[in-house]
């Protein structure tokens, strides 16, 4: 059995910054952090999630973006240290979110800081990239890109879509359990200014080539959508922010565990959602179990 942990959108605490060092967009984001977002993202809740994760026997950790808030170099250095604290980088796969690509230089800074967990088997950092951890293969897609102020849209783009189609086909022939990692949900009820702009094209790739599991973040809520695949339904699962403050965030901090076993044509994948419940004790516990395959 292969056990995978998925968390997303930790939005690590923002180090002190000087207003004069910020771009206009970063200024608006910093103001938003000071007046609203820092109350929604609780470092104590994140520590509880990480502590629970560390005592769980996992083979791999997937993190689907938004480690930072306004893509400052100091934030990426903090993210680098945080990732090292989670465990060996070989056993962690990270992709960017829209906040990590908040400014043009953000993605390059993240690739430098997260080099051990954001590269493919060939040591390349071109998206999408593949990391094989038999019997699972992770296909890491980037939807983060700089957007105008007050926009949080994402895009895969034609180049990534073409590469993704070929990778999914190749990995199917290798008889691997294909997990697509993406920040923006392929299906979302969020405002259009927060959605994936080419979701229809992504859904066509999944419909043509399939995947066993799609994992995402961005919406900060528990989500499960079933996508069309060539041989049946494909589960697309989102998690709340790993730092979601109980009583303030729409969904409190949580992460998902996936227990994967079987073989092509007979895969079994059970999902266990673990997070801070609503009983008032603030402890991390099992919230729900869902069988994603049968």
Please write the tens of the pLDDT for every residue from 207-247: 999 999 999 999 999 999 999 999 899 999 999 999 999 99
Closest CA to 210 of 178, 245, 250, 243: 178
DSSP H or E segment with residue 209: helix 199-209
Residue 77, exposed/middle/buried by CB under 10 A (0-12, 13-18, 19+)? middle
Total number of domains in the chain: 1
Ramachandran angles phi, psi of 132, nearest 5°: -90, 125
- Of 142, 227, 222, 145, the closest CA to residue 186 belongs to 227
How far apart CA 145 and CA 180 sit, in angstroms, is 19
Q: Is the pTM of this model over 0.85?
A: yes
pLDDT for 294: 59
- Predicted confidence band of residue 89 (pLDDT cuts 50, 70, 90): very high
229 is in which domain, residue-wise?
2-291
Residue 281 has pLDDT above 80, yes or no: no
274 forms beta bridges with: 255, 286
CATH number of domain containing 104: 3.60.21.10
């Amino acid at each position: 059995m292969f056990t995978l942990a998925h968390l997303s959108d930790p939005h690590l605490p923002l180090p002190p910054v000087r207003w004069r060092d910020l771009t206009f967009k970063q200024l608006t984001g910093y103001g938003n952090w000071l007046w609203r977002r820092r109350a929604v993202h609780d470092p104590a809740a994140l520590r509880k999630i990480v502590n629970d994760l560390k005592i769980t026997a996992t083979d791999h950790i997937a993190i689907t973006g938004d480690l930072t808030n306004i893509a400052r170099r100091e934030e990426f250095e903090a993210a680098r240290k945080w990732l090292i604290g989670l465990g060996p980088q070989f056993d962690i796969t990270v992709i960017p979110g829209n906040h990590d690509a908040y400014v043009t230089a953000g993605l390059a800074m993240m690739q430098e800081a997260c080099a051990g967990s954001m590269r493919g088997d060939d040591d390349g950092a071109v998206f999408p990239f593949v990391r094989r951890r038999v019997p699972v293969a992770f296909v890491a897609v980037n939807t983060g890109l700089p957007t105008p102020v007050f926009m949080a849209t994402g895009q895969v783009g034609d180049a990534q879509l073409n590469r993704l189609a070929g990778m999914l086909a190749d990995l199917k022939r290798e008889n691997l359990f294909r997990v697509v990692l993406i920040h923006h949900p392929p299906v979302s009820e969020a405002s259009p200014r927060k959605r994936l702009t080419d979701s229809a094209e992504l859904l066509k790739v999944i419909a043509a080539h399939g995947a066993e599991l799609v994992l995402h973040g961005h919406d900060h809520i528990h989500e499960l959508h079933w996508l069309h695949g060539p041989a049946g339904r494909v589960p697309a699962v989102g998690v709340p922010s790993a730092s979601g403050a109980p009583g303030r965030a729409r969904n409190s901090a949580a992460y998902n565990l996936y227990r994967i076993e079987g073989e092509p044509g007979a895969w079994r994948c059970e999902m266990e959602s673990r997070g801070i419940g609503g009983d008032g004790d603030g402890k991390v516990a099992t919230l729900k179990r869902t069988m994603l395959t049968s």
